[in-house]
């Protein structure tokens, strides 16, 4: 009897864990428009996001997304996940702010530039701090995709 109860509890916990994480794609993050806003502290204009209702519903949720790993400054634990590889200039051309996510890990990562990784973390929408990306994943864990 105890084994049956433990089995049921284990199934419920595993099911809840699987439901808590939502897999998203770059098309989800592309559901955003941008407007220009002057930021007095920088004395410059910046693109600021106007997130769609779909994206707003993801704020604070645990999500998983697959992309190219960009090690911006490994010594400072600064990493980006991108829709495009660095070799394709992830930050220029037709790529916009919605094609990259700031990823925050508790420790240094050993992935190589342009490794394809699946990153899981809590999505934070950033509409106004121009010193960070519009999309930030916190408490991240990553797995190399083969």
Nearest CA to 21 out of 92, 123, 96, 103 is that of 123
Domains of the chain: 20-144 (2.40.50.870)
pLDDT at residue number 75: 82
Q: Please, which residues have CB within 8 angstroms of residue 69's CB and are 6 or more apart in sequence?
A: 79, 80, 81, 109, 111, 112, 113, 114, 115, 116, 117, 142
CA atoms of 31 and 60, how far apart (whole Å):
17
- What pLDDT, in 10s, does the model give residues 110-124? 999 999 999 999 999
Helix, strand, or coil here: 119? strand
- What pLDDT, in 10s, does the model give residues 34-70? 999 999 999 999 999 999 999 999 999 999 999 999 9
Whether the Cβ atoms of residue 79 and residue 43 lie closer than 8 Å to each other = no
Determine what percent of the chain is predicted with pLDDT higher than 90: 70
Average pLDDT of the chain to the nearest whole number? 86
pLDDT at residue number 119: 98
pLDDT at residue number 56: 98
pLDDT at 93 over 90: no
């Amino acid at each position: 009897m105890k084994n049956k109860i433990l089995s049921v509890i284990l199934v419920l916990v595993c099911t809840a864990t699987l439901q808590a994480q939502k897999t998203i794609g770059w098309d989800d993050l592309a559901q955003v428009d941008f407007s220009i806003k002057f930021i007095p502290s920088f004395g410059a204009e910046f693109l600021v996001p106007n997130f769609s209702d779909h994206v707003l519903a993801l704020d604070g949720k645990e999500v998983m997304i697959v992309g190219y790993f960009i090690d911006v400054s490994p010594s400072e634990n600064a990493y980006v996940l991108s829709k495009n590889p660095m070799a394709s200039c992830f930050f220029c051309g037709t790529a916009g702010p919605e094609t990259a996510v700031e990823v925050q890990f508790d420790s240094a990562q050993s992935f190589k530039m342009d490794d394809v990784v699946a990153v899981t973390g809590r999505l934070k929408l950033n509409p106004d701090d121009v010193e960070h990306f519009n999309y930030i994943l916190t408490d991240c864990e990553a797995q190399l995709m083969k």
